[in-house]
């Protein structure tokens, strides 16, 4: 399973579905996350995983699945991560 850094955005990985290992510390606000439950592909993959509750801030393995772009993404505060709102984006992803 490839290890990625906290700053890797989902859009940088072309596969429609992939498993990656996140390091610890991705809760940091400098790793931007856009959306809630469904995240814009411009988001930090690992930051979104912490926000969604799939990962703790100590890291681990996650499954990422790309889904269609949304007409809007609503930010929220969850699990120590403040996600941001975005009006629309061409591609999204979910984490499990």
Q: In this predicted structure, what is the pLDDT of residue 46?
A: 99
Neighbour order of strands in the sheet with 60-68: 17-22, 60-68, 91-95, 38-40, 35-36
Read off the pTM.
Answer: 0.96
The number of beta carbons lying within 10 Å of the beta carbon of residue 23 is 13
Strand pairing report for 81-82 and 17-22: unpaired
With a cut of 70, list the residues of the chain below it in pLDDT.
Answer: none
pLDDT (tens digit, 9 = 90+) per residue, 19-45? 999 999 999 999 999 999 999 999 999
CATH numbers and ranges of domains, the chain: 10-95 (2.170.130.20)
Question: What distance in Å separates the CA atoms of residue 70 and residue 32, rounded to the nearest whole number?
Answer: 17
């Amino acid at each position: 399973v490839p290890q990625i850094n906290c700053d890797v955005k989902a859009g940088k990985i072309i596969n429609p579905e992939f498993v990656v290992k996140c390091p610890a510390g991705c809760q940091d606000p400098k790793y931007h996350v856009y959306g809630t439950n469904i995240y814009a592909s411009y988001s930090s993959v690992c930051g979104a995983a912490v926000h969604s509750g799939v990962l703790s801030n100590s890291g681990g393995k996650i499954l990422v699945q790309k889904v269609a772009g949304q007409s809007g993404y609503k930010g929220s505060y969850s699990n120590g991560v403040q996600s941001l709102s975005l009006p629309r984006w061409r591609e999204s992803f979910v984490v499990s």
